[in-house]
Amino acid sequence: MTRDHGDNKRGPLADESEPDWRDSYAAAFPGSSAEEVTVDTLANMSALPDSSHGPDTDAEDELSEPARRPGYLGESARIGKYAVLRQLGEGGMGVVYSAYDEELDRRVALKLIRPGRDNSPANQARMQREARAMARLSHPNVVQVYEVSRFEQQVYLAMEFVQGRTLGSWLKAQPHTWQQVLDVMVQAGRGLSAAHQADIVHGDFKPDNVLIDEHEHARVVDFGLARAAPRSEPGLSASGLRRDAAAADPAASGRVSIAGGAVGAMGGEPEHRHTSESDDGVPLLDPGRSGGGRVAGTPAYMASEQHAGRHADARTDQFSFAVTLYSALYGHHPFAGGSLLELVINVSDGKIRPPPADSPVPAGVHAAIVRALDRDPEYRYATMSDLLDALNRGSGRARDPEFDLSVARPQRVMLSMIIPASILAITVVLIVYSPEGSLLPSAASNAIAGAVINVVLFGLIFAYRGNFFKNTINRRVMAWLVVSSLAMLVHRTAAVVLGTPVATTMVNDLLMLGAIATMAGIAIERWIWYAAGVMLAGALLCAAFPAVSSLILVGSLVAVFLLAFRFWSR
């Protein structure tokens, strides 16, 4: 199912099932929930109820194309090399279309400045800034930008088309366990982390800016408010934020200011005021009329420093991520009150609503979220990666480093391909040079084949010893393979000395290897039990069909390494 890449008109906490949130924000901030927050809109805010994860509307109904309006592109329109297919969505800043790239034969998403929106150099620069920010990222959890160009005097973005839905719609489509929610959010967190490592602050992370495809793979979208991470932050102490929050006294005046670092009555000059610009000259905090200011972002997901008009950094994105995760896990906003003003005050005071008493979410996950929601950025996690690590530890998903199978995974996968290929090659040689009319090798050539396999195995282990010996689990896996290979060589050498028939040797080989694999399945990885079952079944087949026992043995060993490939490449 297709979704808008970030500019939908949506409510701040969920999607279609939240008319109160959506309507109140639409009334307060005409055009988009991501629109700049002006000082004149706060007094009229209505109540902010809990978010809902109720049933979603039908996907096709959601995406049905609206009636053609002046300035909007229809199905016959062309934008450069792209043929427009349909409109996907729109917001205060942009409109997104599904389109077809005729040159590269692929579907793309095109984002243009919305008709009726001021096509000023500043807005065009904002689109270019978004393109530059996304183009600097190459990560599986960030939507890829293909091209930024101009069409009839305006900038457009050609982006990766994602067949999926927003996080809000995904949550409402059907019930999800807290583990499933955490999994997709951690994926989105990795995308944010990649942006931060590229010195990019998203600035507007929320459910509408997370797309989840049919494989439950999450991608972060809409870097329209992205900016370069500031080199140094102004003072963001808890005392300063408390002072700002204390100034927010709605009884003092009918108008409330969010300007230049203070939330307070319009009567006085803000204590902190500054205007900053991005690298392309687009103001990030614009001076407003009547001494007020404008703060870019979606209010329900903005950190206290954003509400106060201060510079956003990676810790600001971390706060927005934590708000989104809290809402997704518990079904209500962590700070929502009776109005937007109350929400801002709750954020500034750090008043987090408690989770439901019957919530199955582990206490460790909750503790990590609460720290990321701290009103003082200095008390949040140092990086997004640190928060993700804490969530994994709190959920019990993080592995002991000594038993982390992600270590040396590529090397194990390579080994699982090379060893069976070697076995098959040796088998071909043995069959070609076997006695005429027989598929069984001689006892001596059987032992030599075992020696060759040992040489290949030991050579691979030695070549990748720096990876294979990094932690306990990999050392155990290598020990299993070495013991199995050496045991087979010793057994075949003994068979030559004792004059044991080759067919019997094959049966004994598989019985012995199956027994070793059974023990390895207990001590190392459970999937090895499947390998044990394959080899023990092969032993029975060898006993039943001794004339083709060599082929059965080879097939059993290849099947074992195919199992290894499947489980090690996950």
Catalytic residue numbers, as ranges: 204
C-alpha closest to that of 184 among 202, 211, 206: 211
Residues 6+ apart with CB under 8 A from 459: none
Other Cβ atoms less than 10 A from the Cβ of 21: the count is: 26
Distance CA 543, CA 507 (A): 6
Q: Could you tell me which residues are beta bridge partners of residue 155?
A: 150
Q: Please measure the distance between the N-terminal and C-terminal CA atoms of the chain and give it in whole angstroms.
A: 26
In the numeric block, which tokens belong to residue 435?
């006695």
Dihedrals φ, ψ of 407, to 5°? -70, 130
In the block, residue with structure tokens 């805010």? 45
Quick one: angle between helices 443-463 and 502-523, nearest 10? 30
Four-residue CA torsion sign, 90, 94, 100, 106? negative
> Alpha carbon of 554 to those of 418, 430, 452: distances in Å?
14, 12, 14
> Alpha carbon of 360 to those of 91, 178, 187, 369, 455: distances in Å?
36, 7, 21, 15, 52
3-state secondary structure of 463: helix
In the numeric block, which tokens belong to residue 22?
């959506």
C-alpha closest to that of 186 among 53, 368, 7, 358: 368
DSSP string, 345-376: HHHHHT-PPPPPTT--S-HHHHHHHHHHT-SS
In the numeric block, which tokens belong to residue 429?
């040689």
Q: Is 60 exposed, middle or buried (0-12, 13-18, 19+ CB in 10 A)?
A: exposed
Give the CB-side neighbour count of residue 50, counting CA atoms within 13 A. Answer: 13
Distance CA 390, CA 279 (A): 33
111 labelled binding-site residue: yes
Query: Looking at this protein, which amino acid is placed at residue 512?
Result: M
Residues 6+ apart with CB under 8 A from 53: 14, 17, 171, 172, 175, 331
In this structure, what DSSP letter does residue 43 have?
Answer: G
Do 112 and 95 contact (CB within 8 A), yes or no? yes
Do 192 and 212 contact (CB within 8 A), yes or no? no
Binding residues for ATP, by number, are: 111
